Structure 1
Amino acid sequence: MAHIDYYFSTLSPSVYLAGTRLEDIAERHGAELNYKPLDLMALFARTGGQPLGQRHPSRQAYRAQDLVRQARQLGMQITMKPAHFPTNPAPSSYAIIAAQNEGGGNLGALVHSVLRALWAEERDIAEDSVVRDCLAAAGFDPGLVDSGMLVGAETYAANLEEAVNAGVFGAPFYVVDSGQMFWGQDRLEDLHAHLAGKL
């Protein structure tokens, strides 16, 4: 069975645009997914990336155009300047970690629900009430918001270290046990082809 380590940030519009395509690909190939939410700003600092506001204006302008094009192509709504961005990604990340440990719900749906709340619904994913709604909608106990804090914080930090050691530098980032790495939601078809033995 193939394994995919999925490194992502709950603040990333590119993670939002990935939707649940990764989960569909994993299911088609019988691959196991390991969800690894992390602090993207800390990852940038460790791997030579720059926060959005520090990038050259031409890079920011291109990003704004491209995200809108990608959203249209995928038939997804996106708000380029959501009301609560940036916000604290830790609470939603801790909840995802707790849900993965707990099991019983749909983890892919949870991740997408959190990202949709930020980028399409303009809700603040740092608020416990929003995270509880996302947990419940994906079939998890909303109480994980409270019970998963300690383990969530420890795992969140460990995910960053694992990412740096694995050569990850952005999000979404997919690392297959074959050693192949794929960066960006626009590389999901390449991941699919690789798992099919075509790449």
Structure 2
Amino acid sequence: MAARIDYIFTPVSPWAYLGAPQFNAMVAKYGADVKVMPVDLGKVFSVSGGLPLAKRPPQRQAYRLMELKRWRDFRGLPLNLQPKGFPVDAGLASRLITATRELSQKQALDLSFAIGRAVWAEERNIADAETLEEILNECGLDPARLFAAADSDAVKAAYDADTQKAMDIQVFGAPTYILDGEMFWGQDRLDFLERAVAKAG
């Protein structure tokens, strides 16, 4: 029986972007059953003690930049430490991912990575509908269909429900991976997650 993983994140998280290639490769290797769950991280922070980047103390902001550089170099992914257009509202991008998972979880994973790359490597404005349309086309997806779905009551309700679930199960940051009720927070815990997936399989 394939392992079941809830992948809880926001597509504008640099850590989700940095971890996506390893996570996606692991999912393919083990045939894991993934539910792609973008959430409103601001709401999660509001009940978990997290702070938006601009409100964090200077020493935490400085160390975050150091860690991003380390992980960028280790992962071998292009990443601008302070990209223009960040922070940015990820609501529409998240709902497009939620709509895409109804077609295919793999396509939703691929779109999530493409949106992260757009922010962190390409410095594109993913709050802009035209930019998102370009990204959907680049991923071989149908923008008209997905924009209509993203604006539907069903997808909005699903996005809100996923955010509420994240809060209910005490998620406090992104990315978070849930395997059989066990939480793995952060892309630096993917090795632990993979060992657990291998054991479960």
TM-score (norm 2): 0.92
Contact map agreement 2:110 2:139 (CA 8 A) in 1: yes
Conserved in 2, the CA contact under 8 Å of 1:7 and 1:171? yes
Change (3 A) 1:128 1:193: same
**8 Å CA contact 1:37, 1:97 repeated in 2:** yes
SS at 1:19's partner residue? helix
- Report the counterpart of residue 191 of structure 1 in structure 2: 193
Q: Is the 8 A contact 1:16 1:115 kept in 2?
A: yes
Q: Which residue of the partner structure matches residue 54 of structure 2? A: 53
Deviation of 1:195 after TM superposition, in Å, equals: 1.1
1:181 paired to 2:195: no
Q: In the alignment, is residue 120 of structure 1 matched against residue 146 of structure 2?
A: no
Q: Does 1:156 align with 2:159?
A: yes
Which one-letter code corresponds to 2:176 in the other structure? F
Percent of residue pairs identical: 36
> Number of residues paired by the alignment?
197
Give the letter for the 1:35 counterpart. V
- Secondary structure of residue in 2 paired with 1:106: helix
Distance 1:104 1:81, change over 3 A: closer
Cα displacement string for residues 130-161 of structure 1 (whole angstroms, at most 9, x for unaligned residues): 21222222222111123321233211111111
Q: Secondary structure at the match of 1:50?
A: coil
Q: Distance in 2 between matches of 1:140 and 1:123?
A: 19
Structure 1 residue 26: Cα displacement? 1.5
Is contact 1:10–1:37 with CA below 8 Å preserved after alignment? Answer: yes
Whether the 8 Å contact between 2:98 and 2:108 is mirrored in structure 1 is no
Counterparts of 1:192 and 1:132 in 2: how far apart (Å)?
33
CA contact (8 A) 2:38 2:159 kept: yes
C-alpha displacement at 1:79, in angstroms?
Answer: 1.0
Q: Which runs of 5+ in 2 are unaligned?
A: none
Structure 1: 4+ residue segments shifted above 4 A: none
Contact 1:38 1:159 in 2 (8 A): yes
Q: How far, CA to CA, are the matches of 1:104 and 1:166 in structure 2?
A: 22
Q: 1:104 Cα shift?
A: 8.9
Q: Is the 8 A contact 1:89 1:125 kept in 2?
A: yes
8 A Cα contact 1:20 1:109, kept in partner:
no
Q: Contact (CA 8 Å) 1:105, 1:139: kept in 2 or not? A: no
Equivalent positions of 1:70-149 (< 5 A) are 70-103=71-104, 106-143=107-144, 144-149=146-151
Q: Judge conservation of contact 2:88–2:126 (CA < 8 Å) in 1.
A: yes
* 2:171 corresponds to 1:168: yes
Alpha-carbon distance between aligned partners in 1 of 2:55 and 2:101, rounded to the nearest angstrom: 34
Structure 1 Cα separation of the partners of residues 125 and 35 of structure 2 = 25
Q: After superposition, what is the alpha-carbon deviation per residue over 1:87-118, rounded to whole angstroms, capped at 9, x for unaligned?
A: 11011111101111133972222110000001
Structure 1: 5+ residue runs without aligned partners? none
Distance 1:43 1:104, change over 3 A: closer
**Structure 2 equivalent of residue 5 of structure 1:** 6
Offset at 1:74? 0.7
TM-score, normalised to structure 1's length?
0.93
Residue 46 of structure 1: CA displacement?
1.1
